Chain A
Amino acid sequence: MSLLRYESQVRPALVEGDKDYHQVTEDICRPVEAKPSKLWWTGFLISVLMLVFGIVSVTMEVMYGTGQWNLGKTIGWGWDITNFVWWVGIGHAGTLISAILLLFRQGWRTGVNRAAEAMTIFAVICAGQFPIWHMGRVWNAFFVLPYPNTRGPLWVNFNSPLLWDVFAISTYFTVSLLFWYSGLIPDLATLRDRAKKKWRKVFYGVAAFGWTGSTKHWQRHEALSLVLAGLSTPLVLSVHTIVSFDFATSVVPGWHTTIFPPYFVAGAIFSGFAMVQTLLVVTRKVLGLQEYITLEHIEVMNKVIVLTGSIVGIAYLTELFMAWYSHVDYEWFAFKENRVNLFSPYGWSYWIMMGCNVLSPQIFWFRKMRRNLVVTFFMSILVNIGMWFERFVIIVTSVYRDYLPSSWSTYYRPTIWEVGFYMGTFGLFFTCYFLFSKFFPVIAIAEIKHILKRSGGNFKDKMGGIEVETVNQFGDKHLHEH
């Protein structure tokens, strides 16, 4: 019943150009089936080199101890946990796009969901490295898993937010991976069916799990998508809430704050969308997918960025106000002297955070800026820098001068291995992303086809005629077809 799939002309087309189903498949499969370009090889090799540097950095830390990082008796967490929270936050945009936007029937998600979900998975993998390798005795990391054991049995501490993290992050990773992969299956089958080389047939054949495209398969696929969307939706809110508990449930002034859960979730979506922009602005250009990831998509995501950036801004001001209003001297000191005071040892980091996260996104109130690719790319980087500093500010500026002035600490500067670990996760992330963009369709082919006849540019244009027709004209023209 194609005629019921009518969409208002006011809504901009989600797929531009003169596309039919075949053309969609061709466009999206082309980068997967073509030989990798020089550009791809360059990017991939740089990523692998960074990953190797990261592996060396972690090896040094495991071999010689956490003293390979510049942490100390006062600052027990630094770049490690900052990076952890940063990467986890980035993942959130993917889940929001794939799950919440699916439930809200936002058609525009189809253009970006595949890449965003992939980003989520890679970001969570990167994030997970930090809590694991930051342990002093990582070879005993399995102690955090609650399983029957011969040590007593010795059980984990269910009161600890770090244990909640274990559950939150592992659940998040599992559900995200399933969601992403189940979405991939029809597209993998497409690639299998188009494959001309033996290894491609085998690889995509195995990966597609024997998908035939039968109605029964589609029906189950749709049902599974909905179930996984339903499971993912609370995760968008819960994962970063739990990460924020790492700080909120402590007694450290500047951490002990009830506002953290919503503030962290907003910040996570904010940084996640920024990362999606960073990736997609480049991906659509390099793979020639501008007709699928349109300026429309970019603009919508920029709107999300200005909204969540402003929520984050309100959160910053609220916690600052509460620190003063609470009359808790220690809390107020953490804010007034450790953060807001520009001339304090870390004052600069607070103001970088404020500038990048609260002030700069306000530029997106202007439509022209939202649709400007250069501005978008630049802003997405700025937001990610700002969000990194948010976590740094929360973690380091709270602990370095807390309760006892005798224990106030020196400046904390990362060592080469701390920087290397962070760089290494970039290497890991981009290695994964380059492989993904080479071997998997970066846009969900099946889902694009699903919206094509409703929201595709040429179909909309053809349907535009309906708007000027009277009911009788419409009836005369279409009804006898059936």
Chain B
Amino acid sequence: MLGSLDDFNKILQIGVKESPAAAAAGAGSYSAAAVADATAAISGYKKGTGDELVVYQKVSIGTGAQAGNPWLQELPDPISKATWDNYALISVTKSKELGITLNADHEYYPEKPVLEITVGGTTMKLPCLVIPGMNANTIAVALGYGRNEETGKAAAGVGQNAYQFTSYNGSNVEYHVTGVSVKNTGSKYKIAQTQIHNSYEGRIEVLRETTMATFKKEPNVIPEWREELKEEYHNNANGDFNEATLYPQHDQPGLKWGMNIDLNSCTGCGACVVACHAENNVPVVGKREVLRYHDMHWLRIDRYFVSDATDKDPDNLKGVVFQPMLCQHCDNAPCENVCPVAATNHSMEGINQMAYNRCIGTRYCANNCPFKVRRFNWADYTGADSFKNNQDQSLVGKLDDVIFQMNDDLTRMVLNPDVTVRSRGVMEKCTFCVQKLQSAKLDAKKAGTVLPDGSAKTACQTACATNAIVFGNIHDKESAINKVREENDQRKFYVLEQLHVLPSISYLAKVRNTDEVIEGKHHVAGEKHEGMPASTKPEETH
């Protein structure tokens, strides 16, 4: 059907499957009549008044068929970073029209303005999220919400049903509608987002992204910067790296696990986040707890909007960068030295590990983690606690029903028996799926071989559709992880490398495929916004 492998690759490349018959019939021929017809058809297309409303499927919930899955309800949307809701996405321009002030309060408080959207006879009140880069007059609402009890406990009562905005034109269901009128009702509604700040503030140590043209012009910016940093450290440490830290270096005689994440490949879909939930028994906490910043994702995807601070049009978005963020398994980990009871420590394979039984929950490790990847069991999310009736709090921190759904005897059967279920008051975080690594090592031992590269895989790596995550033993010179790192030296960076925490995860910079050349030392779009938080620029959301 698709022909040879070459043909298939070609189709993928150009994105269209050309019909050989059609190509033979009128390949390349210009027909003025056909163009005129097309123009007429376009101009004849009914022009609506007012705004256009687009109904779309979220990556997590889809048409609504997946609405009953708590993992997917709690998976933050790749762009909006919101959980447990649907909402109207509007542009910055539109928000100004509606009189929404995008100041610090708008960013920091979860209460978002509620819009009244009227299409024909249908009126719906939906909270809105302002997303730069939206078309000025387009409003987008996700499908699959507003389900009833029969759909399942997780889906019931979450969001509102946007199918009312779709229509049937005789042959197709139309997922967009024009002539929409929007009104700001003045009331507010809480949306649980896992990330509220949208810009990386020009912090090049956190995130490296550039354009193709810039990268071609000066491909060695990152390695040169890293070299400078190293030299500086070397000099400050009396010419001996071991002296750059007070603590002794870890001895890693055998394996040393490392990961590489290619930001160019990452689409932000969140499959890795859900895979991590499933593999590691990461609890679902429900909307109320996400609102209180108690979400438990071991692995999250940081999403940053890239736009030019000097650009007059705030909706002129240059790009979106997704950065999967998980425990960096630092070899000089700031979390390890602050734990009074040594509950978090370093394994001989370079894994920063948690001894849950030992943890007393001082939360110092989480405060001291520059990547903020540690997650604390603020309440008894798993029902694993020995305290009786400790999930019935009513005054403060009431838990959502979905937590209990995940605790019942049947649902508990989804738990991975190889992974401890954590109790309340314990810190947890990414383990590099140590149980999977262990099983791979045992398999190799049984087979009497050296651990073959690629046999130990993390859950996030397995789930990644674009192979953005590469994982392996960095002591194995032939391993894929080492190859990726070597081959991509010009894009390779470690997050916050200047802190000398020595992360085990490397990232490959995002290169946006545009011809724009970014000037300036560090090639940050719009140059460095000299520490500009949203609070000082009330008109900015990005």
A residues contacting B by CB (< 8 A) are 60, 63-68, 70-77, 131, 134-138, 140-141, 143-144, 154-157, 159-163, 166, 246, 249-252, 329-330, 332-333, 336-337, 341, 343-345, 399, 401-411, 415-417
Contact = CB atoms under 8 A, between A and B. Distances in A.
A115 to B, nearest CB: 33
Contacts of A405: 197, 199-201, 203, 206, 304
A77 B396 contact: no
Contacts of B196: 408-410
Interface in B181-216: 195-197, 199-201, 203, 206
Contacts of B533: 333, 337, 341, 344, 401
Given A76-B363, A403-B496, A405-B203, A65 B535 contact: no
Contacts of A136: 359-363, 376-377, 424-427
B168 interface: no
20 contacts: A64-B379, A65-B377, A66-B363, A67-B379, A68-B393, A73-B295, A73-B366, A75-B293, A76-B363, A77-B363, A136-B427, A144-B360, A156-B342, A332-B531, A337-B535, A343-B536, A401-B533, A404-B371, A406-B300, A408-B196
B499 A251 contact: yes
B104 A162 contact: no
A343 B104 contact: yes
Contact of A76 (B110, B304, B367): B367
A229 to B, nearest CB: 30
Nearest to A61: B396
Contacts of B368: 250-252
Contacts of A67: 289, 292, 294, 378-379, 396-397
B367 A157 contact: no
A401 B535 CA distance: 12
Instruction: Report whether over half of chain A's contact residues are helix, strand or loop; otherwise say mixed.
Output: loop
B217 interface: no
Nearest to A416: B396
B375 A73 contact: yes
B376 A137 contact: no
B45 interface: no
B268 to A, nearest CB: 12
B208 to A, nearest CB: 14
Contacts, number: 218
Interface of B: 104, 108-110, 195-197, 199-201, 203, 206, 247, 289, 292-295, 300, 302-304, 323, 325, 334, 337-342, 358-364, 366-368, 370-372, 374-380, 387, 390-391, 393, 395-397, 423-427, 495-496, 499, 501, 531, 533, 535-536
Contact of B396 (A249, A329, A343, A415): A415
B358 to A, nearest CB: 7
A76 B364 contact: yes
B340 A162 contact: yes
B536 A337 contact: yes
A251 to B, nearest CB: 5
Contact of A64 (B197, B294, B393, B499): B393
B339 A135 contact: no
Given A73-B372, A159-B247, A341-B536, A65 B367 contact: no
Nearest to B535: A344
B358 A143 contact: yes
A290 B407 CA distance: 65
A66 B495 CA distance: 30
A136 B361 CA distance: 4
Most buried by B among A144, A250, A404: A404
Nearest to B392: A64
Contacts of A157: 337, 339-342
Contacts of B361: 66, 135-137
A68 B424 CA distance: 12
Contacts of B300: 406
Given A137-B426, A251-B334, A345-B535, A162 B364 contact: yes
B531 A154 contact: no
A415 B294 CA distance: 15
Contacts of B200: 405-406
A106 B240 CA distance: 51
Contacts of B109: 410-411
A75 B364 CA distance: 10
Contacts of B376: 66, 73, 76, 136
Nearest to A70: B292
A154 B197 CA distance: 42
A345 B538 CA distance: 12
Contacts of A409: 196, 293
Contacts of B293: 72-75, 409-410
A343 B535 contact: yes
B366 A160 contact: no
A163 to B, nearest CB: 4
A351 B366 CA distance: 28
A163 B340 contact: yes
A216 to B, nearest CB: 45
B360 A140 contact: yes
Contacts of A246: 364
Contact of B390 (A63, A74, A131): A63
Contacts of B199: 405
Contacts of A141: 360
A161 B338 contact: yes
Nearest to B368: A250
A341 to B, nearest CB: 6
Given A64-B393, A136-B376, A154-B358, 8 more contacts: A63-B387, A65-B425, A77-B364, A159-B338, A251-B334, A329-B531, A337-B533, A417-B396
A82 B379 CA distance: 22
B250 to A, nearest CB: 14
Contacts of A332: 531
Contacts of B339: 157, 160, 162
A144 B206 CA distance: 35
Nearest to A143: B341
The 5 A-B pairs at the shortest CB distance, nearest first, are namely A136-B361, A136-B425, A72-B293, A67-B378, A406-B302
A65 B379 contact: yes
B360 A65 contact: no
Nearest to B393: A64
A135 B425 contact: yes
A408 B197 contact: yes
